[in-house]
Structure formats: structure tokens, C-alpha cells
Amino acid sequence: MKQFESFRLDTADECLWHDGVQIALPPKQFALLRYLVEHSGRLISHDELLDALWPETYVQPQVLRTYVLELRKILGDDARQPRFIQSLPKRGYRFVAPVTDSPATPSAVEHPAEFAGIAGRDEELGILRTHFDRLAQQQRQIVFICGEVGIGKTALVEAFCRELEQTSDVTIVRGQCVQGFAEREEYYPVMEMLAELCAPPHAEQARPILARRAPAWQVALDRDMQAQKMPSEERALGDLCAFLEGMSVEKPLLLVFEDLHWADDSTLQVLAALARRRIPARLMVVATQGPTQQGDTSQALKKLKHDLLLHGLGTEIALAPLQMPQVRELLQRELHQQDLPQDLAVSVYEASEGNPLFAMAILGHLKTHRFLVCREAGGSARWEQRVPFREMEAGLPDELVQMVELEIERLTPVEQHLLEAGSLFSVAFPAWAVAAAMDDDVAQTEEMCDELARRLHFIKRAGQDELPDGTCSAFYVFAHGLYREVLHNRQAVARRSRSHLRIAEKLRVSFAGCELHVAREMAWHYEVAGQRLLAIATLRDAARNAFANNRQATGTDLLEHALRIAQDLHQTERDAVASEILIDLMQSKAAGSDASQDRATENLDNFSTRS
């Protein structure tokens, strides 16, 4: 811990303390401040700083200026009369405040046992335990853990492994499938497991068994270690299985395959063989599987899993999002604090929809942007809210936006536009509307949506929509509201408006003669496209239609809606348009029931008062 004036730089927790309040700094700002503080008193050139902060990457020196500017803001420093960071034009920076070493801050960031483990997932851990217990009868077990990105597959497996390591004598090895490796390197996760088994502390037991039961695999492993690949034909699957069974004689063996959706076909064949062999063995396979990706492997995996589940040779645990109490527990564990700031759990739960990865990213975001601050009081530290969570406009966590952006950027420009058009709808989006927004063919758009739904976890097919002109098309939902929001926000306003306008026009054409059904939807698209007059005209037409069909209440509702939109018109148009709507309302009053007459009078009164 380094101290300068009333600040303390905590190099262990990568944060800054000021008068007992913790300030979370973004990583680069922290690294810059740390470098300056640790080399205080001497001139540090721009090049030295750039090398220290971005080794092996070219970064323009101007970037440093931006970071220094932000640091000065945080420290309350003045460039003209620097208390901390002095700029030496064209040369570099010097940290001028005296720096001393200070004792570590006692904080809640200790790790008491009550906050160990993961939140919830008791049932799932129970299922895993039951399967493990069956190994005692020499029955091999295969469990698939499935669920969307960040739902907690790895966290569950790791919690299970930690528990086993504490309670049982078991060998656990892991093989990670890596995105993009399936085509390039067969058996990648299997070789990783073999390498782990043939290294300490298992090597002494494993090496002789491998040499005896699967010599070709031993050769492959040794060559692998020297980066010399050999053809797969020489490695018999049966030998490998025999070796793994041999390894499970002395104590149970748990093989963890991570991210099986990225596995190569050969690895899947190993899994199939392990599951189907009849020889009794204390062998358990746990495989995590995220959303299935495009390509043959996904088909092969689907088929393998289906086959194993059908024949009772495997079990699937589908992870659901966390419930509110579990999100609260997750936050308590992360913050090491039982009583959380008011509304924190609800706010994080609502924004994350129970996805733990998103919940963690949101928590990090709240800390970084100081909506949540850690205060020191009476020798301990507590997390407190700076603004009531219900009132804050926290935005989206940068990490999540970047994660989603990276995935979006891998798509073709047309696919990106398609998803962006889909994000214009609040929940579900029909393919025909996306086609209209893109000015494209419905069948082709639907094909692309289906293709994306198969390949990507962003969207799912959710049903079928039919327009009066006979157009039939599927509709889709976003797997998570955050995806929709990122896709929505990355579009220029002008493009969004154009798309909304096209959708409204498509609705007008498709529902010609029965516009009443979609008047509100059409009006909404016009309104968000900035075409308020068109929105009002649509609602007035529909209202007239409703009155003609003796649907007084519907007609009045539509006119009231139009009146609300009219309030947002420019003053030059507002009064004239509102008067026309009010006349419509008065006419409906003349024709309508007592109730609608009362409402019309009330509207007239309200509007007169407001104007």
C-alpha cells in the first residue's frame, strides 16, 4: 500500500482509497498511477510509460494524455499547479507528491468461509453427487451440463470438483475444447487430459498403464509434447478407453470436458466409446456445453447426446438462470457482506435476468463507475450505494458491451443489420418486419434468421406470425435483453428511424382494410421514427373505424393516445392538431354512451388546462 497525501494506492486489490472511501479505477488508469507512484520523483518519458503499459503494442502517445487527464480528475489535481502529476512538455511526466509505504487497509475483502462456494445450485450439485456415488457400483457416469453463455456451467463443475477434492479420494483431470481448434487439431482436449494424467502427481501411476494399454497414445503424447503431430489412425480408441479404465481402478477418475460444443469429431468419438463400453469402471465424465455452434460438430454432438440420453447412458443438467434470492447470495459472496445496500439485489437481478456472468459484469460496472463505493469505518469496510439504484442511469457494463460487440463483429454486415432490425422490437420480432426494415424478401430473411438462431445464441425461434395478406413468417426473441440493448444502441438514430418507418408502412400495406388491429403498433413505429403526424393520423383513422363499428371505448382510447402524442409536437403544430383530435372526441361524445361522453369532456378539460 502506497500513501500520498490523503490517498492510498492498494496494489493488492488494484484500487485507490481516499479518506476511507474506496475508488475503483479502470485497469489502465490504475496501471498508469501505479507506475507513476512507484517511480515517484523522477521524470518518466512517454516511451517508458507506453512500454510499461502496452508492451509489444504500438499505442499513440496522445492516449497517455487522455489517461493522465482522467487520473487528474480523480485525484482533484490541477495541471497548472500539480500536486501529484507534473507534465513536462514533449518529455514525459513526474509524480511529485511524496510517497510513503502504509499498512494495508483492514477491509471486508478478507475471505471468510461463509462466503466461499457458489450461490444456489444445490439441486444440481446434488445430482452430480448422486452420479458420483454410483461409481461405487462400478457404473460409469456421463453428465452433460448445458446452458447459455455465462449461466454458470464452469462455476458449477468447479464447485463440484472442489467438494470432491475435500471429501473423496479421486483423480480429476480437465480437457478444454477451444473455439476454432476442432478443424485444426483433433483430440485437443483429450491430449490435454492425457498430459495432465502423465504429469505429477499422477505420472507414476499413469505412465506404466499408458505404456501397457495404449502405447500408441503414449507415443502420440510424447510427440505432442515435442509439437510433432501424428496421424490419428494409429491411435485406437479402445486402447485409450482401456488406459482410462485402468486409471480408475485405484481410485475414481473424473474427466471434465469443458465447452464440448467446440470439440472435434474425434474427441466426441472418445466420449461415445467411453459411454458405451460395458466394462465396469469407476469413471465419470462431466461435460459442459454452451449454445451449439454452426458446423458438423454441432450435429455430431447433438446426435451423440441424443443417443446417450435415449439409451439411459447419460444425464443432462440444463442450467436455468438464478432466481432473485440466489442473485442476492451471489452479491453477498462477491462483496463479502451480508446486508446489501437497498435495492442492489433487485436491480442487478432485473438487469442480468439471473445470468451470473451478466450479474458479475454489472456489479463490476457499478463499482468502476462508483455507484457502489466501499467505505472504511471502525476498522472494517462496507459497500454502500452512492445513488439510489432505482434512480440511477447506470448504462451497460463496458465488458458486456465489448463481449457482445465482438460476437456481432464476427457476423457478415447483412447479418448484423438483420439483428439490429430485430432489436427495434421490445420483445419478439417477426421475420416479415425485419425484412421490411431491410427492404428485403421475407423468405430469405426468415432463412437467415433461422440460420442465425441455429448458429448463435443471441436469438431463438419463438413461434409463427401470420399477416392478413397471407404472409406467414416466424418470429424470434433475443436470448437476453442485454443483447437487444447493445444491438439497438449501436445503430445510428437515422437508420433506426428509417427502419421503423419501413415497418410502419409494411403494416399499413399488409393490414389494409383492418388497420384497427395494428393501429397502436403502427403508430408506435411512426412515433419512434419521428413521424408524429403520421402516428396521429393512423390513430385517428383507426378511431373513426372503431366508432363506425360501435366500439366507442376503443375509439376513445385511440384518440386519447393520439392526444398524448400531440403534446410532443412542436408548438406551431400542436394546438391545431390537438383541436382536430378534440373535435373527433366531441363527435364521439355526441354519438356515444354516457361513459365515453364523460371521458371526452374530461379530455377537453384537461387539454384546455394544459394549453
CB of 288 to Mg ion, least distance (A): 6
Q: In what order do the strands lie in the sheet with 372-377?
A: 100-101, 2-4, 7-10, 15-18, 21-24, 372-377, 380-385
Q: Contact 118/155 with Cβ under 8 angstroms?
A: yes
For helices 552-566 and 519-528, the axis angle rounded to 10 degrees is: 0
Write out the binding residues for Mg ion, residues 147-166 only, by CB under 5 A. Answer: 153-154
Report phi then psi at 255, rounded to 5: -105, 125
Select from 3-11, 14-22, 150-158, 575-583 the region that touches ligand ATP (CB under 6 A).
150-158
Should residue 360 be labelled a site residue for ligand ATP when binding is judged by CB under 6 A?
yes
Cis peptide before 201 (omega within 30 of 0): yes
Sequence-distant (6+) residues with CB within 8 A of 159 are 117, 118, 121, 125
Find the residue with minimal CB distance to Mg ion.
Answer: 154
Should residue 246 be labelled a site residue for ligand ATP when binding is judged by CB under 6 A?
no
Residue type, 488: H
Closer residue to Mg ion (CB): 154 or 385: 154
Residues binding ligand ATP: number (CB under 6 A) = 18
Should residue 155 be labelled a site residue for ligand ATP when binding is judged by CB under 6 A?
yes
How far, in Å, CA of 183 to CA of 265, rounded?
A: 9
How far, in Å, CA of 454 to CA of 460, rounded?
A: 8
CB of 145 to Mg ion, least distance (A): 9
Q: Contact 389/343 with Cβ under 8 angstroms?
A: yes
Residue type, 324: M
How far, in Å, CA of 373 to CA of 436, rounded?
A: 47
- 181-194 CB burial, b ≥16 within 10 A, e <16: bbeebbbbbbbbbb
Should residue 474 be labelled a site residue for ligand ATP when binding is judged by CB under 6 A?
no
Q: Strand 459-466 vs strand 171-176: parallel, antiparallel, or unpaired?
A: unpaired
Closer residue to Mg ion (CB): 32 or 145: 145
Closer residue to Mg ion (CB): 153 or 417: 153
CB of 384 to ligand ATP, least distance (A): 22
Closer residue to ligand ATP (CB): 356 or 430: 356
Out of ligand ATP, Mg ion, none, which partner does residue 528 contact, by CB within 5 to 8 A per kind?
Answer: none
How far, in Å, CA of 575 to CA of 110, rounded?
A: 64
Write out the binding residues for ligand ATP, residues 22-61 only, by CB under 6 A. Answer: none
Write out the binding residues for Mg ion, residues 97-156 only, by CB under 5 A. Answer: 153-154
Should residue 176 be labelled a site residue for Mg ion when binding is judged by CB under 5 A?
no
CB of 157 to ligand ATP, least distance (A): 8
Write out the binding residues for ligand ATP, residues 106-135 only, by CB under 6 A. Answer: 118-121
Q: Contact 349/324 with Cβ under 8 angstroms?
A: yes
Should residue 497 be labelled a site residue for Mg ion when binding is judged by CB under 5 A?
no
Should residue 263 be labelled a site residue for ligand ATP when binding is judged by CB under 6 A?
no
Residues that bind Mg ion (CB under 5 A): 153-154
Residues that bind ligand ATP (CB under 6 A): 118-121, 147, 149-155, 259, 290, 330, 356-357, 360
